[in-house]
Amino acid sequence: MNERVMFEGMRAEKRRSLRDLVTRANGLVSAIHIQTHPFLKVEELRVDQIASQARDLEKHVYKIRALMDEIAALNRELGEDEDG
């Protein structure tokens, strides 16, 4: 298999994974935002659920950053700009 084709396939798969992770992260941001609206009384906050979602969001953000770095490395390997 041509090395370039292999790198392009790897990049396409990483881009799909990145889109999925960003979608999930955006969902978590929305959920956290809804649960922390300013008209909710402090004693009504579901802090256990908010904290859990925040931890999940943190994990997603770390994975997103790692995937972005991997995609950038593949772009450099392919001789393309960062948006490739």
Number of domains in the chain: 1
* In the predicted structure, residue 83 carries a pLDDT above the cut 70: no
* In the predicted structure, residue 73 carries a pLDDT above the cut 70: yes
Does this model's pTM top 0.75? My answer is yes
Q: Identify whether 64 is part of a domain.
A: yes
* In the predicted structure, residue 55 carries a pLDDT above the cut 90: yes
Q: Are 71 and 83 in contact (CB under 8 A)?
A: no
Q: Which value, in Å, is the radius of gyration of the alpha carbons in the chain? A: 18
Q: Identify whether 82 is part of a domain.
A: no
Tell me the average pLDDT of the chain.
94
Own/partner contacts of 7-14, CB < 8 Å, gap of 24 or more, are 7/74, 7/77, 7/78, 8/78, 10/74, 11/71, 11/74, 11/75, 11/78, 11/84, 14/67, 14/70, 14/71, 14/74
The range of the structural domain enclosing residue 33 comes to 3-77
